Structure 1
Amino acid sequence: MSFHDDPRYEAVGSAQATPETLAGLETWRDLAPQQQPTYQDPAELEAVLQELRAVPPLVFAGEADVLRSRIAEVAAGRAFMLAGGDCAETFADATADKIRRRVQTVLQMAAVLTYAGSVPVVKMGRMAGQFAKPRSSDTETRDGVTLPSYRGDIINNHEFTPEARRHDPGRLLQAYHTSASTLNLLRAFTQGGFADLRRVHEWNRGFLGSNPNYHRYEQIAREIDRALKFMDACGADFEALGTVEFFAAHEALLLEYERALTRIDSRTGNPYAVSGHYLWIGERTRDLDGAHVDFLSKVHNPIGVKLGPSATKDDVLRLVDKLDPERTPGRLSFITRMGAGQIREKLPALLAEVGHEVPQVAWVCDPMHGNTITSGNGFKTRRFEDVVEEVAGFFDAHAEAGTVPGGLHIELTGDDVTEVLGGGAQIDEEGLRRRYETLVDPRLNHDQSLEMAFQVAELLTRASRA
Structure 2
Amino acid sequence: MTAASELIAAHQPAWSEPDTLREVLDRLRWLPPLVEAEDCACLVEELAAVARGEGVVLQAGDCAELFTDSAPDRIRAKAAQLHELGGRLRRTGRAPVVVGRLAGQYAKPRSRQTEAGDDGVEIPVYLGDAVNDRAPTGTARRPDPQRLLAAYAHTSRGLRTLASGPATYTSHEALLLNYERALLRPDPVLGGVFASSAHTVWIGERTRDPGGAHVEFAAEITNPVGVKIGPDATPADVVALVARLAENGAPGRLSLVVRMGVDRIGERLPLIVQALGEHADRVVWLSDPMHGNTVRSAQGLKTRVLRRMTDEIERFCAVLRLHGVHPGGLHLEITPDGVIECVDTGADLATGPDPCRYTSACDPRLNPHQAVALVDRFAEVLATG
Please, what TM-score do these two structures have when normalized by structure 1?
0.79
Of the candidates 304, 328, 350, which is equivalent to residue 406 of structure 1? 328
Aligned to 2:152: 176
Give the number of the structure whose alpha-carbon radius of gyration is greater.
1
Q: Does 1:56 align with 2:32?
A: yes
Aligned to 2:235: 313
How far apart, in 2, do the equivalents of 1:398 and 1:108 lie? 26
How far apart, in 2, do the equivalents of 1:86 and 1:55 lie? 26
Aligned to 2:53: 77
Q: Does 1:139 align with 2:139?
A: no
Q: Percent identity?
A: 42
What is the deviation of 1:427?
A: 8.6
What is the deviation of 1:266?
A: 3.3
How far apart, in 1, do the equivalents of 2:31 and 2:192 lie? 19
How far apart, in 2, do the equivalents of 1:281 and 1:383 lie? 25
**Cα deviation per residue 1:339-382 (whole Å; 9 max; x = unaligned)?**
01111222123223325333211111101100000111011100
Contact 2:11–2:109 (8 Å) recurs in 1: yes
How far apart, in 1, do the equivalents of 2:263 and 2:308 lie? 8
Give the counterpart letter for 2:172 in structure 1: H
Q: Does 1:375 align with 2:302?
A: no
Of the candidates 105, 112, 124, which is equivalent to residue 148 of structure 1? 124
What is the deviation of 1:312?
A: 2.3
**What aligned pairs does 1:290-301 form with structure 2 within 5 A after superposition?**
290-301=212-223
**Cα deviation per residue 1:179-201 (whole Å; 9 max; x = unaligned)?**
111111112220xxxxxxxxxxx
Give the counterpart letter for 1:158 in structure 2: R
Give the counterpart letter for 2:93 in structure 1: S
How far apart, in 1, do the equivalents of 2:189 and 2:314 lie? 43
Contact 2:132–2:144 (8 Å) recurs in 1: yes
How far apart, in 2, do the equivalents of 1:439 and 1:267 lie? 37
What is the deviation of 1:431?
A: 4.6
- State the SS of the aligned residue for 1:306: strand
Give the counterpart letter for 2:9 in structure 1: P
Give the counterpart letter for 2:331 in structure 1: H
What is the deviation of 1:95?
A: 2.4
**For structure 2, which runs of at least 5 residues remain unmatched after alignment?**
none
Aligned to 1:457: 379
Quickly say closer, same or farther: Cα 1:293–1:387, change in 2 above 3 A. same
Of the candidates 81, 88, 100, which is equivalent to residue 64 of structure 2? 88
Task: Name the count of aligned residue pairs.
Answer: 382
Aligned to 1:448: 370
Quickly say closer, same or farther: Cα 1:156–1:398, change in 2 above 3 A. same
**Cα deviation per residue 1:415-454 (whole Å; 9 max; x = unaligned)?**
101100117xx79734522310002100001111112222
How far apart, in 2, do the equivalents of 1:269 and 1:169 lie? 31
How far apart, in 2, do the equivalents of 1:369 and 1:40 lie? 30
Give the counterpart letter for 1:328 in structure 2: A
What is the deviation of 1:279?
A: 0.6
CA RMSD after TM alignment: 1.7
What is the deviation of 1:267?
A: 4.5
How far apart, in 2, do the equivalents of 1:267 and 1:346 lie? 38
Q: Does 1:128 align with 2:103?
A: yes
Please, what TM-score do these two structures have when normalized by structure 2?
0.95
How far apart, in 1, do the equivalents of 2:4 and 2:86 lie? 37
Aligned to 2:138: 162
How far apart, in 1, do the equivalents of 2:16 and 2:145 lie? 9
Q: Does 1:97 align with 2:73?
A: yes
**Cα deviation per residue 1:259-297 (whole Å; 9 max; x = unaligned)?**
010001235541000000111000100011111011111
Contact 2:15–2:21 (8 Å) recurs in 1: yes
How far apart, in 1, do the equivalents of 2:206 and 2:28 lie? 26
How far apart, in 2, do the equivalents of 1:419 and 1:271 lie? 39
What is the deviation of 1:156?
A: 0.1
What is the deviation of 1:93?
A: 2.5
Contact 2:297–2:349 (8 Å) recurs in 1: no
Contact 1:355–1:401 (8 Å) recurs in 2: no
**For structure 1, which runs of at least 5 residues remain unmatched after alignment?**
1-23, 191-244
Q: Does 1:388 align with 2:310?
A: yes
Give the counterpart letter for 1:130 in structure 2: Q
Aligned to 1:119: 94
